[in-house]
């Protein structure tokens, strides 16, 4: 989920495994959907991101991308991304297990269509603009809720041509139809996943008590 001065533009891709080719193709696909050029790539310390293959893809291009990582054991370095794990993913998909490779492609079909439109054009979020201590209290002040689309239109970093294209797309969207389609697709997808509760089977102990295997 790329983060710019105007907030987070939501674009997600599911990847099966940690192989370089799958991760690189996912990043390349997300980059093509952004309304701005990719200038920086900041990741955690997972081996799927920290490798020479991805470094070569990002840094050895005509316009190199700044390639940085978070500090070890400092999860707040990626706070803008980590906070979306709940509001963008888990709140809709829950915690079921996706245990078949073909589910990744099905999930991406959801992510890259109505889901992306719903998140970027109709789901607002706030941005922290001030934080200070008042004796024992921590005071936080946020701006007015805006969608990523609204923040893009107000940004001076986005070319006018890109803004016009987004405005034309926005006029064709019906939020109610998009939300219904997203909900319908999610329900159909979740029927193919495995609830975690089904994997935990009670087992009888020799003394007659129950234990969890």
Kindly report, residue by residue over 106-141, the tens digit of the pLDDT. Answer: 999 999 999 999 999 999 988 888 999 998 999 999
Phi/psi at 203 (5° precision): -125, 140
Q: Pick the more confident residue, 199 or 38.
A: 38
pTM attached to this predicted model: 0.80
- pLDDT, one tens digit per residue, over 163-176 is 999 999 999 999 99
Quote the pLDDT of residue 211.
43
> What is the maximum alpha-carbon separation in the chain?
73
CB atoms inside a 10 Å sphere around CB 10? 22
In a domain, 91, yes or no: yes
Determine the structural domain holding residue 151 and report its residue range.
3-199
Residue 101 lies in a domain: yes
The reply to whether 24 falls in a domain is yes
User: What are the tens digits of pLDDT across the range 44-87?
Assistant: 888 999 999 999 999 999 999 999 988 888 878 877 777 788 88
User: Domains in the chain: how many in total?
Assistant: 1
In three-state secondary structure terms, 94 is coil
Beta strand segments in the chain, E? 3-4, 7-8, 40-43, 66-69, 128-134, 137-142, 202-204, 210-212
The CATH number of whichever domain residue 38 belongs to comes to: 3.30.420
């Amino acid at each position: 989920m790329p983060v710019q001065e105007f907030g987070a533009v939501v674009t997600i891709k599911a990847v099966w495994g940690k192989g370089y080719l799958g991760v690189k193709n996912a990043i390349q696909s997300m980059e093509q959907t952004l309304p701005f050029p990719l200038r920086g790539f900041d990741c955690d310390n997972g081996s799927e991101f920290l490798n020479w293959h991805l470094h070569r893809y990002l840094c050895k291009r005509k316009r190199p991308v700044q390639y940085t990582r978070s500090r070890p054991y400092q999860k707040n370095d990626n706070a803008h991304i980590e906070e979306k794990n709940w509001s963008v993913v888990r709140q809709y998909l829950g915690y079921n297990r996706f245990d078949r490779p073909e589910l990744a492609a099905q999930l991406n079909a959801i992510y890259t269509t109505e889901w992306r439109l719903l998140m970027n054009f109709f789901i607002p979020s706030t941005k922290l603009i001030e934080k200070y201590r008042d004796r024992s209290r921590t005071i936080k002040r946020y701006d007015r809720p805006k969608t990523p689309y609204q923040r893009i239109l107000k940004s001076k970093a986005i070319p006018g041509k890109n803004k016009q294209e987004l405005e034309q797309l926005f006029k064709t969207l019906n939020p109610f139809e998009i939300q219904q389609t997203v909900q319908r697709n999610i329900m159909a997808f979740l029927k193919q996943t495995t609830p975690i509760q089904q994997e935990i089977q009670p087992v009888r102990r020799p003394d007659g008590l129950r234990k969890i295997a």
